[in-house]
Amino acid sequence: MPGDCEVVTPEAPEAVKTGRAAAARSGGGPALALSRGVVLLFAVACGAAVANVYFAQPLLVTVGHDLAMSPALVGGVVTLTHVGYGLGLFFLVPLGDVIDRRRLVVAQQLLLVAALVAVATAHTSALLLAGMAVMGLLAVVTQTLVAFAASLAPPSQRGRVVGLVTSGVVLGILLSRSVSGVLADLAGWRSVYLASAALTALLALVLHRTLPRHRALPPAPLRYGQLLRSTVTLFARERTLQVRALLGLLIFAAFSTLWSSIALPLSEPPLALSHTAIGVFGLVGAAGALAAAAAGRLNDRGLSRQTTGIALALLAVSWLPLAFIRTSLWALVVGVILLDLAVQAVHVTNQTLIHALHPEAGSRLIGGYMVFYSIGSAAGALAATSLYALAGWGAVCTLGAVISCLALVLWALTRQGTPEPTADATG
């Protein structure tokens, strides 16, 4: 089946002869045992890196006033950060398949420290925007770490490891807004990025001393251009990858539909909640971190199809209570828990399965998959905020339900015809 194919790229047909040896060097063969402490270190590093992408969201008004930025420029802060992140997914993450991942991680983190300091010390809008774009570009070290952890894990435990590491990503995203708000209130918005720079530098040192050398060499060394082209080639020929990438796009479009617009109805009458109260409701989504770990264990038991189907059904159902949040905050709690559980369960399943297709190309697969995640997130945010202005919260919930049902239909139509590698097949 496609997951057992040992050819990495069309540029290297000799991979048929040497693929297994290369897989052993790059994570596809016997993997290193990972202690729980090392996995938790991966999770913390991932959460700290991805938080940088979201720190600015509650700080936009303050930053705009401090640097005398127009509303359009203030909006560009978030946009450029995400643009940089999307570019990094395609242009930086694949490097993990051809160079020592430990060195790549540490180098990216040290460069990220420099970008964070540049943001914290920026005194013009141009310098701030440039710093934000570079910071987003380098924050993709999160996905380099996910691929690294997956490659080190024994195949029979890969789902559990990916789930635990993804839990760190979820918590980093959820806590970022609260942490940045508290630090900004205490010491100003610049302190947020200085504190992050200090934490990132510390993590770079710890990771350098803790992580093993893990040089990922393909059967035939690829030039950078070949490496990028091979990412496209893998997507063009692997049906499992295509389906899982489309599922990723749809679930994160639904996720972004909620979280990009939820503050609008909550801040208006009859609820009229404060920013602090709205932020507290965001923490309810921490349930998604629990789902990530549980989904990983289910994948290790060969239950990826069942996990995906149940999670997508819950995602579609979650929009029913969310439609009634103006009259019941308990409906919001139930809806948010269901939605975040579902999204993170499918996300972990997707990453586990696509890494198993070609472990020696894990960084390219994870990076390419996350490009679809970014597209879905951006599309969901744009559609939800525009639709809310035109037709209100009910229309937003209808949009989210339609997207979720499309994902469920896609799974139902492809679940039998799409081969999905298991731990045994990839070991």
Residue range 313-365, pLDDT digits in tens: 999 999 999 999 988 989 999 999 999 999 999 999 999 999 889 988 889 99
Better-predicted residue by pLDDT, 412 or 10: 412
Q: How confident is the model at residue 135 (pLDDT cuts 50, 70, 90)?
A: very high
Residue 99: DSSP 8-state: S
The gap from C-alpha 295 to its chain's centroid, in whole angstroms, comes to 16
What average pLDDT is seen over the chain? 84
Quick one: 163 and 300 in the same domain?
no
| Mean pLDDT within 192-215 | 92
Phi, psi dihedral angles at 215 (to 5 degrees)? -75, 120
**Rounded CA separation 236/218 (Å):** 19
265-287 per-position pLDDT tens digit:
887 888 887 766 776 776 777 77
What's 150's domain CATH number?
1.20.1250.20
155-182 per-position pLDDT tens digit:
888 888 998 998 899 889 888 877 888 8
Residue 310, pLDDT above cutoff 90: yes
- Asked if residue 28 lies in contact with residue 97, where contact means CB atoms within 8 angstroms, the answer is no
Ranked by mean pLDDT, which of 2-6, 33-37, 66-70 comes out on top? 66-70
pLDDT at res. 17: 33
Quick one: 251 and 386 in the same domain?
yes
- Distance between terminal CA atoms of the chain? 14
* DSSP for 268-297, written as a single string: STTT---HHHHHHHHGGGGHHHHHHHHHHH
User: Which of residues 217, 242, 272 is at a domain's end?
Assistant: 217
Range of the domain at 388: 233-427
Cis peptide upstream of residue 155 (ω within 30 degrees of 0): no
pLDDT at res. 282: 67
**Rounded CA separation 265/271 (Å):** 8
Quick one: 301 and 361 in the same domain?
yes
Residue 333 lies in a domain: yes
pLDDT at res. 407: 97
Quick one: 99 and 136 in the same domain?
yes
pLDDT at res. 25: 39
Phi, psi dihedral angles at 308 (to 5 degrees)? -65, -50
Quick one: 187 and 335 in the same domain?
no
What residues contact residue 65 under an 8 Å CB cut-off, 6+ apart? Answer: none
**Rounded CA separation 63/80 (Å):** 15
Looking up tokens 């450029």 gives: 80
Better-predicted residue by pLDDT, 372 or 300: 372
Percent of the chain with pLDDT over 70: 85
Residue 5, pLDDT above cutoff 50: no
Instruction: Tell me the chain's radius of gyration from C-alpha atoms.
Output: 21
Quick one: 359 and 424 in the same domain?
yes
pLDDT at res. 240: 92
Residue 10, pLDDT above cutoff 70: no
| Mean pLDDT within 204-226 | 79
Residue 48 lies in a domain: yes
Amino acid found at 354: I
70-83 per-position pLDDT tens digit:
877 887 787 788 88
pLDDT at res. 397: 97
| Mean pLDDT within 183-195 | 93
Residues counted in the chain: 427
- Asked if residue 113 lies in contact with residue 196, where contact means CB atoms within 8 angstroms, the answer is no
Residue 129 lies in a domain: yes
Quick one: 278 and 241 in the same domain?
yes
Residue 246 lies in a domain: yes
- Asked if residue 96 lies in contact with residue 146, where contact means CB atoms within 8 angstroms, the answer is no
Neighbours of 364 (CB within 10 A): 28
Residue 226 lies in a domain: no
Phi, psi dihedral angles at 100 (to 5 degrees)? -60, 115
291-308 per-position pLDDT tens digit:
777 888 888 888 899 999
Spatial CA neighbour of 214 closest among 364, 100, 98: 100
Is the four-CA dihedral 387, 132, 279, 258 of positive or negative sign? positive
**Rounded CA separation 363/231 (Å):** 9
- Asked if residue 203 lies in contact with residue 48, where contact means CB atoms within 8 angstroms, the answer is yes
Quick one: 155 and 190 in the same domain?
yes
Residue 219, pLDDT above cutoff 60: no
**Rounded CA separation 5/15 (Å):** 10
| Mean pLDDT within 190-212 | 96
**Rounded CA separation 245/249 (Å):** 6
User: Which of residues 189, 217, 245 is at a domain's end?
Assistant: 217
**Rounded CA separation 115/85 (Å):** 13
- Asked if residue 218 lies in contact with residue 97, where contact means CB atoms within 8 angstroms, the answer is yes
| Mean pLDDT within 183-205 | 95
Quick one: 266 and 191 in the same domain?
no
User: Which of residues 217, 252, 273 is at a domain's end?
Assistant: 217
Q: Enumerate the β-bridge partners of residue 100.
A: 215
Quick one: 204 and 241 in the same domain?
no
Quick one: 64 and 164 in the same domain?
yes
Q: Is 186 exposed, middle or buried (0-12, 13-18, 19+ CB in 10 A)?
A: exposed
| Mean pLDDT within 247-262 | 90
Spatial CA neighbour of 158 closest among 147, 168, 142: 147
Phi, psi dihedral angles at 20 (to 5 degrees)? -65, -40
Triad 365, 370, 375: Cα angle to 5°: 135
Residue 152, pLDDT above cutoff 70: yes
pLDDT at res. 83: 86
Q: How many domains does the chain have?
A: 2
